[in-house]
Amino acid sequence: MYLPKDKWKVLVHYYKELSSVDSRIPFYMSKLEGTLQGTNARNRAKIASKTLQKRGLIAFLNDQGDALTVQLSLEGYDLGRKYSSCLIRSGLWFAEYKDHWFWLIISFLGGVIGGLLINWLS
């Protein structure tokens, strides 16, 4: 399953924190918004967490203001492990878009033809 950038960053943050402790720990929104960069990081972190909950990847055990107690589901734990590695994360993207090899060949040939055209025109 391929997730947008905000969602996988939040999921990886939950995975790294929970895998090091092997239990449920409270997360603070102030620390969670530090994982996302840009404007409105707090709202984006909340939206990403709610979306992950709707997909069944995490479960909120306690949601009180700034403190969240989160538990990863089995699928969420597995996906968090996959997204924590850059090499596996790119493989997830390629698996989602199965015809990537076709576009890779087309773009390579387009680059070669573009280079030859520039040499011919100059």
CA distance 108 to 13: 36
Report the number of distinct structural domains present in the chain.
1
Indicate which CATH number applies to the domain containing 96.
1.10.10.10
89: containing domain: 5-121
Share of the chain above pLDDT 90, in %: 18
The answer, yes or no, to whether residue 101 has pLDDT greater than 90, is: no
CA distance 70 to 7: 15
Q: What is the CA radius of gyration of the chain?
A: 20
User: Model confidence over 53-93: pLDDT tens digits?
Assistant: 999 998 888 777 778 888 888 898 888 888 887 766 666 66
Structural contact between residues 16 and 84, judged by C-beta atoms closer than 8 angstroms:
yes
Q: What is the enclosing helix (H) or strand (E) of 71? A: strand 67-72
The answer, yes or no, to whether residue 1 has pLDDT greater than 90, is: no
CA distance 109 to 113: 6
